[in-house]
Amino acid sequence: MTCLRLTAALVGLLGGGPALAEGIEAAAAPTAAQATVTIPAGRVLPLELAVDRLANGLTVVVVPVAVPSLVAVQTWMAVGSRQEVVRGTTGYAHFFEHLMFHGSRELPGDKRAAMLLSLGVDENAWTSSDRTCYHLQAPADALAQLLWIESDRFKNLELDQLGVRREAGAVLGEWRRAQSDPERALDAALYAAAFGQHAYNHPTIGLESDVLAMPDGLPTALGFRQLWYRPEHTTLVIAGDVDPAATLDLARATYETWTMPPVAAPPLPVEPVQAGQRTAGVIWTAGPANSWLAMGWKVPAFAPDTRDGAAMRVLVELLAGDVSPLYRQVVEDEQLAWSMAAPDPRSVDPGLLTMRVELRDRAAGDRVDALIRAAVEQIVRPPDTDAADALRRRVLAVRQQLRHGDVLELGDPASWAATVGWYTSFRGDPLDFERHLAALAAVELADVQRFAATWLVDSGRTLVRLESVAGAGQ
């Protein structure tokens, strides 16, 4: 096992104390693990992290991680349902993710799966509105084979009608499963009302008519691939017990032959500025459900190195985190709701800062809405000096919470790859993770207030209520 002597350098970064000059040294390992990991003062990512942009536009990042004998390989595509701009293609980013498991002529799906089985690989994939991620984790001795297997399906994917038809059935099953979740229906209604032009207006799983038409979707799938599944939209992240330089060479040799003819991709529509509050309603008929209230404010696209990006995260936690005054009042004190959540609002394009509240009683919706508005007002304009001081202290606490929390997420190689992959897929630079942590450390109350005053306004807000025909369970 590789040993680390971690100094106070990292502690200094996170605790706000003085950063020390010395870094971390890796002791030689008695096992096969060869990863060398040095954490310089003021950083979380190791010094030995290696990055390269290949001639075909693909970005490779290699992150040595002191977890013995395991490796994670993740392919992050800057492709999601936001690219579904052609009529009839909703759900195709997700559908194509499924089709990527069908392999190539040389390595068809079943043979590919058999090879991965023999290596003991854990693999899966997911698609969101902004990204698609293919993730594998395995014993580190499988790395070379993993890269070859993975690159093959990106370079040489081959689809046929029968395979497309079968996979469409599986996707339909997944779509049907999603229809039984009231929270998904709430989310879909919120985004459909908030976005008129941008493809955030439909769920990643797709609209029913398009999902039902997928059995005949081979031409559409091939077209989607040509437009978007290209090396210049791809970040390959390898994290674990690896030698960065050697791994970079291996990745380069494996992936540099992936080329695609030039293509003119359709422009992605820009959502016009919202000029007034919007509302929508969902009548839930698929069984018992509590009443829900959801709202979203239009916010700018996330940029990892900006004060605004950090301020947005701090604002969300300040407003609706588990220890926020609003949460305590709504869920604990007045018991108006079973839950209140504000998911991560960071998106590639201008998106939504949302809140979802599961009400204990449908009549509580107006009261909750009023409390949320009041909480926003109290952040933007605290009533007195004491309130402002308290808010300032809370900003410091939330900054620390978020920064510590981001570091605590880094456990197995897969979690390292996921964090690095997510940040790298914005601008091609894994150090954007560090920049964002630094931006969090610098956020002041004034930044949060300015963001809230600019963006959490009625003219940019969309409100949705969900009511169940059956009501809550009796």
Partner 1 sequence: MKPPSRRALLGGSAALLAGCWQRSPGPARLTAAAAPARRVELPTVGPVVWLQVSCRAGSGADPIGAEGLAWLAAHAQRHGGTTTASADAVGDRLQAMGADIDVLVDQDQVSFRARCLREDLPALAALMGDLLLAPALDAAVVERLRASSIDALRTALPADAEALGQQVLDSWLFGGHPSGHPIRGRIGALPGLDAAMIRAHLDRCWLRGSVVLGLAGAPDDAGRAAVAALQERLSALPARLPLDLGPRAVRPVAGRELLVVEQGGSSTTGIHFGHPTRLHRAHPDWPAMALATTALGEHRQAHGRLYQALREKRGLNYGDYAYNEVFRQESGSSRQEPGTGRLQNAFIVWLRPVDPDNAAYALRVAIDQVERFVADGLAPNEFATMQTYLARRVALWGADPGRRLGWAVEAALMEWPDPLELLPRAVPALTREAVNDAVRRHLRPDDLRIVAVAPDAGPLLRAAGVDPASGAGKALLRRTGEESTSPPVGAGSPFEPEELRLASLPLALSAASVIPTEDIFR
Q: Which of 25, 122, 361, 366 binds partner 1 (CB under 8 A)?
A: 122
Listed in sequence order, the DSSP H helices in 195-305 are: 208-212, 218-228, 244-255
**In terms of CB distance, is 113 or 268 closer to partner 1?**
113
What the block records as the tokens of 219 is 């031409």
Residues 279-318 binding partner 1 (CB under 8 A) are: 285-290
**In terms of CB distance, is 216 or 458 closer to partner 1?**
216
**In terms of CB distance, is 270 or 286 closer to partner 1?**
286
The 353-372 contact track toward partner 1, x by CB under 8 A, reads -------x------------
How many C-beta atoms surround the C-beta of residue 66 within 10 A? 21
CA distances, 471 to each of 266, 292, 308, 464 (Å): 44, 11, 41, 17
Residue spans of beta strands (DSSP E) within 129-284: 132-139, 234-240, 278-284
Decide if residue 67 touches partner 1 (CB under 8 A): yes
Q: Which of 222, 407, 453, 457 binds partner 1 (CB under 8 A)?
A: 407
Per the CB < 8 A criterion, the answer to whether 40 and 47 are in contact is yes
**In terms of CB distance, is 106 or 110 closer to partner 1?**
110
Q: How far is the CB of 290 from partner 1 (least distance, A)?
A: 6
The 218-257 contact track toward partner 1, x by CB under 8 A, reads ----------------------------------------
- 317 φ, ψ to 5°? -70, -40
Q: How far is the CB of 444 from partner 1 (least distance, A)?
A: 18
Best CA proximity match to 172, nearest among 200, 213, 202, 133: 213
Q: How far is the CB of 466 from partner 1 (least distance, A)?
A: 12
Q: Which of 45, 49, 60, 168 binds partner 1 (CB under 8 A)?
A: 168
Decide if residue 180 touches partner 1 (CB under 8 A): yes
Q: Which of 131, 313, 403, 435 binds partner 1 (CB under 8 A)?
A: 403
Residues 444-473 binding partner 1 (CB under 8 A) are: 470, 472-473
- What does the DSSP assignment read for 185-199? HHHHHHHHHH-SSSG
Best CA proximity match to 42, nearest among 438, 405, 433, 418: 438
Q: Which of 57, 369, 401, 450 binds partner 1 (CB under 8 A)?
A: 401
Q: What is the rounded distance in angstroms from the CA atom of residue 198 to the CA atom of residue 196?
A: 6
Q: How far is the CB of 377 from partner 1 (least distance, A)?
A: 22
Q: What is the rounded distance in angstroms from the CA atom of residue 314 to the CA atom of residue 423?
A: 18
- What does the DSSP assignment read for 53-69? E-TTS-EEEEEE-SSTT
Q: Which of 55, 162, 264, 275 binds partner 1 (CB under 8 A)?
A: 162
**In terms of CB distance, is 253 or 387 closer to partner 1?**
387
Cα dihedral value 94, 99, 101, 102, nearest 10: 180
Decide if residue 196 touches partner 1 (CB under 8 A): no
Please work out, in degrees rounded to the nearest 5, the angle formed at the alpha carbon of residue 128 by the alpha carbons of 126 and 100. 40
Q: How far is the CB of 401 from partner 1 (least distance, A)?
A: 5
Q: Which of 336, 398, 439, 452 binds partner 1 (CB under 8 A)?
A: 398
Decide if residue 1 touches partner 1 (CB under 8 A): yes
Q: Which of 413, 421, 430, 460 binds partner 1 (CB under 8 A)?
A: 413
Residue spans of beta strands (DSSP E) within 252-346: 278-284, 292-299, 337-341
Residue spans of beta strands (DSSP E) within 88-233: 122-127, 132-139
**In terms of CB distance, is 186 or 199 closer to partner 1?**
186
Question: Please, what's the b/e burial string for 99-135 (b: 16 or more CB within 10 A of its CB; e: otherwise)?
Answer: bbbbbbeebebeebbebbeebebebebebebbbbbbb
Decide if residue 63 touches partner 1 (CB under 8 A): no
**In terms of CB distance, is 16 or 272 closer to partner 1?**
16
Q: How far is the CB of 380 from partner 1 (least distance, A)?
A: 22
Cα of 165 vs its chain's centroid, Å: 29
Q: How far is the CB of 402 from partner 1 (least distance, A)?
A: 7
Per the CB < 8 A criterion, the answer to whether 403 and 14 are in contact is yes
Decide if residue 410 touches partner 1 (CB under 8 A): yes
- What does the DSSP assignment read for 420-466? HHHHHHHHS-TTHHHHHHHHHHH--HHHHHHHHHHHS-GGGEEEEEE
Q: How far is the CB of 10 from partner 1 (least distance, A)?
A: 5
Q: How far is the CB of 275 from partner 1 (least distance, A)?
A: 37
Of 10-18, 84-92, 148-156, 431-439, which segment contacts partner 1 by CB under 8 A?
10-18
Decide if residue 124 touches partner 1 (CB under 8 A): yes
Residues 80-119 binding partner 1 (CB under 8 A) are: 101, 113-114, 117-119
Q: What is the rounded distance in angstroms from the CA atom of residue 281 to the CA atom of residue 412?
A: 42
